[in-house]
Amino acid sequence: MTDTTTLSVEDLTGIVTGIFRTAGLSELQAERVAAVIVAGERDGCKSHGIYRIDGLLRTIDAGKVAPMAVPELSDDGSSVIRVDANGAFSPAAFHIGAPVLVERTRQQGIAALVINSCTHFSALWPEIEALTDRGLAAMAMCPSYATVAPTGGTRPLLGTNPIAFGWPRPDQPPYVFDIATSIAARGEIELHRRAGTDLPEGWALDRDGQPTTNPDRALEGAMLPFGAHKGSAIATMIELLAGVMIGDLTSPEALDFLGTTSLLPHHGELIIAFCPDRFAAGRRGDPLARAEVLFDAILGQGARLPSQRRFATREISRRRGIQLSAAEMESLRQAHRT
C-alpha cells in the first residue's frame, strides 16, 4: 500500500476545486464541478471520477465552455423553471435551479427544471440524489452526441442519451438508476479494442450499417440502442424532450456544433421532480413506507437494487477515505497547471 495515498472526501474536493480554479473557472463553477467529480470518485465510479478531469480541461482549452459564466435563473411562476448555463458546465446551473425546483414541486406536485446551454460531463445521479435528499422523486435525461443508430437504421444519429430516476428512502440511500440508452458505452468498445477482443453480438454496426463484432469497425460505425426497438424509442424520446422541446441541441446538432466526440457535449438537460406526498394525497398510507415493501420484495428474492455497490463504496470512502494510486496522484498534480 506504499504507492497509494488516502485522502478524505474534503481533501480531494479541495484539490479538485483548486485544479479548476487554476484552469480559470469561477469559484462557483469550480466548486460545483469538483463536487460532482469527487462524488464519482468517492462512489467508486472511476469513469466519472478524477479520470474526467482531463476531458474537462481539454474542453476548456478548446474554448468550448465558458469558465466564468454566471447561470441565469428564469422563473415565471409556472411549473417549468429554467436555468441558462450561459455556456458553462452544468453543475452550477443545477445548483442555482434546484432549490426553486424543490419549492415548486412541493407547491405544484410536479415541476420541471430545464438547463440550457450547458456542457454536461457528469452522470445524472448526483442531480437525482440532490432531489431525493429533499424527499422528492425525480427523473432526468439529456441527449449527447450522434453515435448510436436507431434500430433498423445504419448510421449514427441518436446519442447514448442517459435517463436516470430516483426515489427517496428514509434513513438510507435512495433508489437510483442512471442508464445509457445505448447497449454499451463507447468506452467499453474502446476497452475491447485495446484488449483485442471481439464485441458481443448486437452492440454495433460498421460504417456500411452492417452488424459487426470488430471494435475498430464499430468505432467507425454506430453503436446500437439497448433493448432493440424499445431502447431506440426511449432514446428518441430523450432527443425530443431534452433536446428539441427545451430549445436546445439534439445529439446530431451537438456533434455538428463541436465537430468531434473527444470534447464534452454542449446541450441541455431536463429534470422532472415529483412530490410523493402530494401525489399520494393520503391514499393507501405513506408512499415512502409502501415503496419499502416493494424494495424488500426485490431484495428478498436475491435481486439487487441499482446503485447498491456504489452506496457501499461511498460508505467505505466516508469511513476510511478515498484511496488513489501513485499514477492518479500524479495526474492530479499534472492537472494543476499554472
33-72 binders of a copy of itself (CB under 8 A): none
Do the beta carbons of residue 215 and residue 189 sit within 8 Å? yes
Instruction: Pick the piece of the chain touching a copy of itself (CB under 8 A) from 23-31, 185-193, 222-230, 320-328.
Output: 222-230
Q: Residues with Cβ < 8 Å from 105, sequence gap 6 or more? A: 111, 136, 273, 274, 275
Q: What is the largest CA-CA distance in the chain?
A: 60
Find how far residue 334's CA is from the centre of its chain. Answer: 25
List 18, 211, 227, 321, residue binding a copy of itself (CB under 8 A): 227
Instruction: State the Cα–Cα distance between residues 58 and 16, nearest whole angstrom.
Output: 15
CB of 331 to a copy of itself, least distance (A): 31
Please identify every residue annotated as catalytic. Answer: 47-48, 188
CB of 338 to a copy of itself, least distance (A): 38
Stretch 259-278 residues interacting with a copy of itself (CB under 8 A): 272, 274, 276, 278
Stretch 150-169 residues interacting with a copy of itself (CB under 8 A): 150-155, 157, 165, 167
Instruction: Pick the piece of the chain touching a copy of itself (CB under 8 A) from 10-18, 29-37, 47-55, 237-245.
Output: 237-245
Residue 177 lies near a copy of itself (rule: CB under 8 A): yes
Residue ranges with strand state E in the chain? 4-7, 72-74, 80-84, 110-119, 137-141, 163-167, 175-179, 204-205, 211-212, 222-223, 266-274, 322-325
Instruction: Pick the piece of the chain touching a copy of itself (CB under 8 A) from 8-16, 74-82, 95-103, 323-331.
Output: 74-82
Instruction: State the Cα–Cα distance between residues 265 and 248, nearest whole angstrom.
Output: 12
Instruction: State the Cα–Cα distance between residues 250 and 142, nearest whole angstrom.
Output: 9
Residue 209 lies near a copy of itself (rule: CB under 8 A): yes
Residue 170 lies near a copy of itself (rule: CB under 8 A): no
Residue 247 lies near a copy of itself (rule: CB under 8 A): yes
Residue 308 lies near a copy of itself (rule: CB under 8 A): no
